[in-house]
């Protein structure tokens, strides 16, 4: 399992690329965990995702709370958390009327 410093460095590099318009390809998402019946929640002051994981390397297939959410694609199909990429399946709630970025920034 990567150290906290390694996770922060990886997430920071991804956020910099995302800010420049890059989006992950299928190849980039090969190891991404699936998340079904998901929703955005707040844990303390940080946004997280709650949902049913599919193929999580450490937790398997079960209900999980992710590490803090750093980015969600506008089409709500991909998310980047501090720890990893997620492929988002069906949301547990109807989509909000405002962009996700406005919910937690």
Output DSSP code: residue 102.
H
Q: Structure pTM?
A: 0.83
**How far is the C-alpha of 18 from the C-alpha of 73, rounded, in Å?**
10
pLDDT tens string 4-14: 899 899 999 99
pLDDT tens string 25-69: 989 898 899 999 999 999 988 999 999 999 887 877 779 899 999
Place of tokens 């303390």: 44
Q: Report residue 100's pLDDT band, with 50, 70 and 90 as the boundaries.
A: low
**How far is the C-alpha of 49 from the C-alpha of 51, rounded, in Å?**
7
Q: For the chain, give every domain's residue range.
A: 4-103
Locate 71 and state its tokens.
């980015």
- The pairing of beta strand 46-54 with beta strand 63-65: antiparallel
Whole-number pLDDT of residue 96: 64
């Amino acid at each position: 399992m990567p150290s906290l410093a390694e996770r922060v460095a990886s997430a920071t590099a991804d956020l910099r690329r995302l800010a420049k318009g890059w989006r992950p390809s299928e190849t980039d998402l090969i190891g991404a965990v699936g998340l079904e019946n998901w929703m955005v929640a707040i844990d303390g002051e940080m946004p997280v995702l709650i949902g049913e994981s599919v193929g999580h390397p450490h937790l398997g297939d079960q209900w999980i709370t992710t590490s803090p959410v750093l980015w969600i694609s506008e089409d709500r199909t991909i998310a980047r958390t501090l720890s990893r990429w997620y492929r988002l399946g069906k949301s547990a709630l109807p989509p909000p009327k405002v962009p996700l970025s406005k919910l937690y920034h």
